[in-house]
């Protein structure tokens, strides 16, 4: 019986040490989540370099749109930016398909005008402090991967004299 008690104490000490070790692992070892392993430029190193996630939204408030329409722009840890139109639930459009799309996005801003058709302004802040803006025509057709290039015309342009540029 004594041997079993000793073995049980030994197991609880070992289990506690393993648990403590797991809790003490530095966060730098933690997985940042999935990235595109088929793309050599998409790596954990890039994730660490661009490392910010952000989201912004805008809701048009005019009669041409049904209530509850929301445009969302989000960036991921790899510095890519995506657009979601709530009328196209669950679909996130990679804004990298637009001309002059910036890389290493760390911030997003979104606004929409109150006319018909409306204009959706997407502003992306990059790690070097530059701001890039796309102006997209929004109407009663939801944004989709097949329509985004046409809706956003010239794609992104650099906003000059951004005060936060390094």
- The neighbour count for residue 75, using CB atoms within 10 Å, is 24
- Tens of pLDDT, residue by residue over 146-160, are 999 999 999 999 998
- Strand locations in the chain, DSSP E? 54-58, 71-75, 81-85, 92-94, 105-112, 118-126, 131-138, 156-159
Distance separating alpha carbons of residues 53 and 76, to the nearest angstrom: 5
What is the reported pTM?
A: 0.69
Taking each continuous run of H as one helix and of E as one strand, the counts in the chain are: 3, 8
- Say what the pLDDT of residue 8 is: 47
What is the model's pLDDT at position 60? 83
150: tokens are 């046409």
Question: For the segment 21-73, what is each residue's pLDDT rounded down to a tens digit?
Answer: 333 333 233 233 333 333 444 444 444 567 689 999 998 877 666 678 899 99
């Amino acid at each position: 019986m004594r041997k079993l008690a000793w073995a049980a104490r030994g197991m609880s000490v070992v289990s506690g040490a393993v648990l403590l070790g797991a809790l003490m692992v530095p966060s730098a070892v933690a997985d940042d989540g999935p990235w595109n392993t088929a793309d050599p430029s998409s790596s954990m190193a890039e994730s660490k370099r661009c490392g910010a996630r952000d989201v912004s939204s805008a809701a048009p408030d005019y009669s041409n749109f049904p209530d509850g329409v929301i445009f969302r722009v989000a960036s991921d840890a790899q510095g890519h930016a995506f657009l979601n139109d709530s009328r196209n639930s669950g679909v996130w459009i990679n804004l990298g398909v637009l001309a002059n799309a910036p890389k290493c996005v760390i911030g997003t801003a979104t606004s929409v005008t109150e006319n018909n058709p409306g204009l959706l302004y997407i502003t992306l802040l990059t790690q070097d402090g530059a701001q890039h803006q796309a102006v997209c025509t929004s109407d009663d057709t939801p944004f989709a991967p097949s329509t985004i290039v046409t809706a956003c015309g010239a794609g992104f342009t650099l906003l000059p004299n951004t005060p936060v540029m390094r």
